[in-house]
Structure 1
Amino acid sequence: MERGIMFTRRASGLVRELTWVDIFIFCIAGPAASGINFFSVSTAAENPGGSIGVAFAIGLFLFLPIMICIAITTSAMPRSGSLYITVSRVLDPALGFFGGWMVLWGYGLAIGVLGYIVTGIIGGGFVLAGKAGGMPGLVGIGETLGTTIGQTIGGIVWTIFFWALTRLGIRSVKWTMRILFAIPFVATAIAVLYFVMTSPASAEAAFNAKWGAGAFQAIIDAAKEQGWSPAPFSWSSTFNLLLVVIWAYTAIETMNYAGGEIKSPKTSMLKGFGWGGLAVGLMYFIVALTVYFPYGQFIPAYDFLYDNAREVLEEIMPAISPSVPFYAASLISPPWLGLVVVVSIALWFANSILPIFLSNSRLIFAMAMDRALPEFLADVDEKRGTPTWAAHLTCLFGLFGVAIMRFGWAPLLGILNIGILFIMWGYGLAAMLLPYRKPELYELSAVKYDVAGIPLVSILGFITFVLGIFFMMMSIMPFDNASMLTVLAIMALGFLIYFYQVHKCKKAGIDLSQIYAVLPPE
Structure 2
Amino acid sequence: MSTERPTSEAAEGGDLSEFGYQQELRRSLTLRDLLVYGLVFMVPIAPFAIFGVVFNASMGMVPLTYVIGFVAMIFTALSYREMSRAFPISGSVYAYAGRGLHPAAGFLAGWAILLDYLLVPTLLYVTGAAALGSVLPAVPQAVWVILFVVVNTVVNLLGIETTARTNKIFLLGELVVLALFVVLAVVAISRGVNGATWTFTPFFNPEVFQPSLIFAALSVAVLSFLGFDAISTMAEETRGGARVVGRATVLALTLVAALFIVQTYLAALLVPGQTEFVGDTATNEAFYTVAALVGGEWFKVLVAIATALGWAVANALVAQAATSRLLFSMARDRQLPKFLAHVHPTRRVPERAVLLVSVVSLILGLFFVGQIGLLSSLVNFGALFSFLVLHLSVVAWYLIKQRQRTYGLHLVVPLCGFVIIGYVLVNSDANAKIGGLVWLAVGVVVLVVLRLMGRTTQLKVG
Q: TM-score, normalised by structure 2?
A: 0.85
One-letter code aligned to 2:183 = L
1:231, 1:436 → 2: CA distance? 42
Q: Does 1:179 align with 2:169?
A: yes
The one of 36, 40, 46 aligned to 1:25: 36
Q: Which moved more, 1:347-356 or 1:95-104?
A: 347-356
Q: Give the corresponding residue for 1:504.
A: 453
Q: Supply the distance in 1 between the matched residues of 2:416 and 2:123 (Cα, whole angstroms).
A: 30
Structure 1: tracts of 5 or more residues without a match? 127-141, 207-229, 311-318, 443-447
Match of 2:210 in 1: 235
With the length of structure 1 as denominator, give the TM-score of the two structures: 0.75
Give the superposition deviation at 1:468: 3.5
Aligned to 2:430: 479
- Which residue does the alignment assign to 1:81? 91
Q: Deviations over 1:396-437 (max 9, x none)?
A: 331233134138598776532211221111110111122244
In the alignment, the residues of structure 2 paired with residue 158 and residue 493 of structure 1 have an alpha-carbon distance, to the nearest angstrom, of: 30
Compare CA radii of gyration and give the structure with the larger one.
1
Q: CA deviation at 1:340?
A: 3.2
Aligned pair count reads: 437
Give, in whole Å, the separation in 1 of the partners of 2:275 and 2:352. 48
Q: Does 2:66 correspond to 1:56?
A: yes
Work out the CA distance in 2 between the residues paired with 1:320 and 1:474. Answer: 22
State the partner residue of 2:292: 329
- Give the 3 Å change call, closer, same or farther, for CA 495–325 of structure 1 in structure 2: same
What residue in structure 1 maps to residue 227 of structure 2? 251
Q: Decide whether aligned partners of structure 1 residues 416 and 205 sit closer, same or farther in structure 2, where only a CA change above 3 A counts.
A: closer
Read off the aligned partner of 2:214 and give its amino acid letter.
Answer: T
* Alpha carbons 1:40, 1:287 under 8 Å: kept: no
Q: Match of 1:144?
A: 138
SS of 1:79's partner is coil
2:309 equivalent among 328, 344, 347: 347
Structure 2 Cα separation of the partners of residues 381 and 94 of structure 1? 30
**After the TM superposition, which residues 343-422 of structure 1 pair with which residues of structure 2 at under 5 Å, given as runs?**
343-350=305-312, 351-406=314-369, 414-422=377-385
Q: Which residue of 1 aligns with 2:263?
A: 287
The offset of 1:83, in angstroms, is: 1.3
The alpha-carbon distance between structure 1 residues 182 and 417, as it changes in their structure 2 partners (threshold 3 A), is: same
Aligned alpha-carbon RMSD (Å): 3.1
Q: How do residues 211-226 of structure 1 correspond to structure 2 at under 5 angstroms? A: none
Q: Distance in 1 between the 2:427 and 2:146 partners?
A: 30
Q: Who is 2:188 aligned against? A: 198
1:494 aligns to 2:443 (yes or no):
yes
* Cα drift, residue 392 of structure 1: 1.9
Shift of 1:47: 4.2
Q: Percent identity?
A: 20
Shift of the 410–186 alpha-carbon distance from structure 1 to 2, 3 Å rule, reads closer
Q: CA-to-partner distance for each residue in 1:88-131, whole Å, 9 max, x for gaps?
A: 0121111111111121122212212211211221333x3xxxxx
1:135-178: CA deviations, max 9, x gaps? xxxxxxx2124xxxx22221222123212211111101100011
Cα displacement (A) at 1:484:
5.4
Give the SS at the match of 2:368.
helix
Provide Cα deviations, 1:188-230, integer angstroms capped at 9, x if missing partner.
1110111111147563499xxxxxxxxxxxxxxxxxxxxxxx9
- Structure 2 CA distance for aligned equivalents of residues 259 and 60 of structure 1: 23
Q: Is the 8 A contact 1:20 1:268 kept in 2?
A: yes
Query: Match for 2:79 among 58, 69, 72?
Result: 69
Deviates more, 1:188-197 or 1:113-122: 113-122
Contact 2:88 2:236 survives alignment (8 Å): yes
Give, as a single letter, the amino acid of the residue that structure 2 aligns with 1:470.
Y
